[in-house]
Structure 1
């Protein structure tokens, strides 16, 4: 489940991004953070209350033992819901960042009870040459099972992509994502910084859902606010909002 309005605005081409929301999008990205951060995220799909996701995340860097993160999220309503708590770790070694995460998921449906499962994930990021970044992430590598009936499991997803910064204000992203049971999804995004990097304009595209996304970000000292708007030709619109705060050392 991708998290963060910045990622949403970029078509969720987020595997190379080193930010707070990397805790869900590619845990290796938290290894590059140098200050503690907390954030909240809310997403609504198609204007339906049951398709609302809320999430809370926090990352605490340490000087010797890597960076640690905690993530919480909930999707759904009283009829169907899924929620999780996750703990991740990322560590940067020169030009490389590596990370791993453990997520405990609970899926509940009215009249059918609930099931729990643990998903394990690993990721990596690297600056190949100055301005060119590579990222890869594998989610639920243990193929956690929810139920014996029909061998129901949490999704196993692998993704890899590139980020290119031709100059400081412009970021280009391209990524391929593969769910083991579905066709590959190609995603791309563009981010441009304005007003001395206090504001950012973003857009993205996802091929599998034929979805275009747009958004903007605003930074005021230690507070960062991001908004994203997405549209598909058949299902309708989605809205994403995230707020994060960076603590001083």
Structure 2
């Protein structure tokens, strides 16, 4: 039974255009906005653009879980912590993709700082590791990512982010498996306290450009509704969030035309 199941997992990864090593997007709010998130300040910016963390004014922490296509072996679990201090803002993040004998991990430490009232910069050191059933031990490598964000007006903010510019990757018995170099650029416009629209372009060294767009609006106090679309291939996302006191719970759903639905949930705690 194990061999056919492993073949199924490989087939799913191939349909997703995900290499055996990838930097997975994290956060229910980003997912609901089709991950058009490079300019938005959020706890999950540790996985999208560390520069935006400089706008944090208080401690924040959260956990995340996504079941890709409702397959346990393709689950993604993550955590993020943001700690602002006088010198800047630190961020710590972790994820695990997969279960059982197939697992991938990422551990990262970020630091961001305001360079001016409008310009933020951030950098993050990453360590990736993976373990497959056919390997006796896990293997890993280190890389980094960095980003900028610029608030052009009170409503419009732009962001840019580079991941793995050194094109590093896993050293396997069959050769080096490089992780893609990824560049993201985009922005969001806050029409009011009730409506936000975000868009970005992502270019990976392995794949063509992808355009992503998301919409968030607040139909009632502390309630957030979100929608997103990206392509090609075209993918649809949606979600909602609710804040009660210092805790915010977000839900998201992404849809793949061939493989179906992927639900996700995250819980955030803000000190203030």
Tell me the TM-score normalized by structure 1.
0.95
Q: 2-side partners of 1:161 and 1:195: how far apart?
A: 28
Give the Cα–Cα distance (whole angstroms) in 1 for the partners of residues 169 and 257 of structure 2: 33
Q: Which residue of 2 aligns with 1:59?
A: 82
Q: Does 2:122 correspond to 1:99? A: yes
After superposition, the CA RMSD in angstroms is 1.2
Task: Indicate yes or no: 2:115 matched with 1:114.
Answer: no
Shift of 1:150: 4.4
The Cα offsets for residues 10-49 of structure 1, whole Å up to 9 and x where unpaired, read as 0011101101100111111111100000100001111111
- Tell me, yes or no, if structure 1 residue 87 matches structure 2 residue 140: no
Tell me, yes or no, if structure 1 residue 187 matches structure 2 residue 212. yes
Structure 1: distance between partners of 2:176 and 2:92: 29
Which aligned pairs between 1:34-45 and structure 2 lie closer than 5 A? Answer: 34-45=57-68
| Partner of residue 36, structure 2 | 13
Residue 78, structure 1, aligned to residue 100, structure 2? yes
Is residue 146 from structure 1 mapped to residue 146 from structure 2 by the alignment? no
Secondary structure of the corresponding residue to residue 262 of structure 2: strand
Which residue of 221, 228, 244 maps to 2:252? 228
Displacement after TM superposition at 1:8 (Å): 0.4
Which moves more between the two structures, 171-180 or 76-85? 76-85
Question: Tell me, what secondary structure is at the counterpart of 2:54?
Answer: helix
Structure 2: how far apart are the matches of 1:56 and 1:115?
Answer: 22
Q: Does 1:168 align with 2:190?
A: no
Q: Secondary structure, in 3 states, of the residue corresponding to 1:46?
A: helix
1:195, distance to aligned residue in structure 2 (A): 1.9
Structure with the bigger percentage of strand: 1
How far apart, in 1, do the equivalents of 2:233 and 2:251 lie?
A: 20
- CA displacement, residues 89-142 of structure 1 (integer Å, 9 cap, x when unaligned): 111231111100001110111122321111200001111122111011111112
1:247 CA drift (Å): 1.1
Aligned equivalents of 1:108 and 1:237: distance in 2? 26
- Residue 207 (1) aligns with residue 207 (2): no
Aligned length: 246
